[in-house]
Amino acid sequence: MKMNGGNKRYALGKVVCLGSSSEGNAYYIEINRKGYPTPFNLLIECGFQYKELTKRLLKNGLSIRKIDAFLVTHEHHDHSLAVPKLVEYGKKVFAPKSVFEHYGILDQVNVNQIITIKPNKKSTTFRLADEIDVVGFELEHKNNDGSMTFNLGYIIKANCDFGLHRILFVTDTYYIRYNLSNIKFNTIFIEANNFARNLIFSIKEAQAKGDKFKEIHFDRVLHSHFLVENTIKTLVGTKKMNGFDLSETDMIYLIHLSASGNVNPYEIKSKVYETLRKKRKLRTIEHKGKIFLSPKVYVFRKNGEIIWKLILSIQALFITWLMKKGKSYLKRDIIKIYKTKLKN
């Protein structure tokens, strides 16, 4: 029985997702810094209209006034829509230069909040707040026209009572160019957009219907977002590639699932757990006399809710098997039945 990382799970307070998909992303994290009586409140991404963002925060008992800093990965609106208003209202927004340029507000921002990577450098490090440093590194993401988007992954290093707490945040990329296998992440946020087979099915369907727009869209997703298969490979590694060091990881949050509705969050969750178990990456930790299985895997729905019922994943696998076997009219009916079941 490994007893690793049990204390570190309390380096973070609340983690609340306000939305997670191409329809809008925002993730609220409380960081308990060393020497501070109250947590540092961080919002990663703000991909909603300002009003909608405040509404979603309020719904979760949170106030935008209490957020100490905002961190944004790239200019796409599902990640950055509230940036202009936040800057206008004097909030501390950290984002790549391209985000502020996109909204024409570069001159209104404090220079230490503008993130750039020097040519020939792999990454940049900046101070988010006292006891919190962030490493930004470039990811592989595309615009609708096929050109590259400047999109950053972040490693947030917070000095907490139990030592350094490392948070990885990666979304909107189809792989990670850099080897991060030597970093012991405590908390991981990583995109798990869709299964390759769903996207390939969607591309073929669009081709058959002669729908060029959809064909290009799904093809872009295929080369611009993390497929579940790649998310898993990145987490646990392959023969050719080292996976992450998960020996101190307590939480894995799977984010930015496809909004198309043809992806089953329960199947994603069970696939990830299954692989972690097979690769012996799960460990037991003890805290206050209770035994926990670690890391825990959480999947966010597009409205920010976490999926809980693990028992449903068996049902989900069965339905997915049926879907693969069934014709598309049958598939639609099954999805309908499944969705109403979930609602109840």
Of 218 and 338, which CB lies nearer to Zn ion in the complex structure?
Answer: 218
Of 138 and 172, which CB lies nearer to Zn ion in the complex structure?
Answer: 172
Radius of gyration from C-alpha coordinates of the chain: 20
Contact window for Zn ion (CB under 5 A) among 2-10, 168-176, 196-204, 256-264? 168-176
The CB-of-193 to Zn ion minimum distance in angstroms stands at: 11
Of 172 and 250, which CB lies nearer to Zn ion in the complex structure?
Answer: 172
Q: Which two tokens stand for residue 147?
A: 């050109």
The CB-of-287 to Zn ion minimum distance in angstroms stands at: 37
**314/274 Cα distance (integer angstroms):** 12
The CB-of-75 to Zn ion minimum distance in angstroms stands at: 8
Q: Work out whether strand 251-255 and strand 187-191 pair parallel, antiparallel, or are unpaired.
A: parallel
Contact window for Zn ion (CB under 5 A) among 74-82, 205-213, 245-253, 303-311? 74-82
Q: Which two tokens stand for residue 302?
A: 């597009």
Which positions from 257 through 276 interact with Zn ion, judged by CB under 5 A? none
- Contact predicate 172/44, CB 8 Å: no
C-alpha 313 chain-centroid distance: 21
**70/99 Cα distance (integer angstroms):** 13
Q: Which of 172, 191, 215, 250 binds Zn ion (CB under 5 A)?
A: 172
Helix spans in 242-303 (H): 265-278
The CB-of-106 to Zn ion minimum distance in angstroms stands at: 20
The CB-of-168 to Zn ion minimum distance in angstroms stands at: 18
Of 25 and 320, which CB lies nearer to Zn ion in the complex structure?
Answer: 25
Q: Which two tokens stand for residue 86?
A: 């936040």
> What size, in residues, is the chain?
344
The CB-of-157 to Zn ion minimum distance in angstroms stands at: 25
Give, to the nearest 10 degrees, the angle between helix 212-222 and helix 196-209.
160
138 part of the interface to Zn ion, by CB under 5 A: no
Of 20 and 41, which CB lies nearer to Zn ion in the complex structure?
Answer: 20
Of 144 and 328, which CB lies nearer to Zn ion in the complex structure?
Answer: 144
**280/1 Cα distance (integer angstroms):** 12
Contact window for Zn ion (CB under 5 A) among 35-43, 75-83, 85-93, 329-337? 75-83
Q: Which of 9, 76, 281, 283 binds Zn ion (CB under 5 A)?
A: 76
CA–CA distance from 85 to each of 18, 37, 54, 81, 104 (Å)?
18, 30, 12, 9, 12
Contact window for Zn ion (CB under 5 A) among 59-67, 68-76, 106-114, 336-344? 68-76
The CB-of-324 to Zn ion minimum distance in angstroms stands at: 29
- Contact predicate 88/128, CB 8 Å: no
Give me the numbers of helices (H) and strands (E) for the chain, helices first please.
10, 17
- State the residues that interact with Zn ion by CB under 5 A: 76, 172
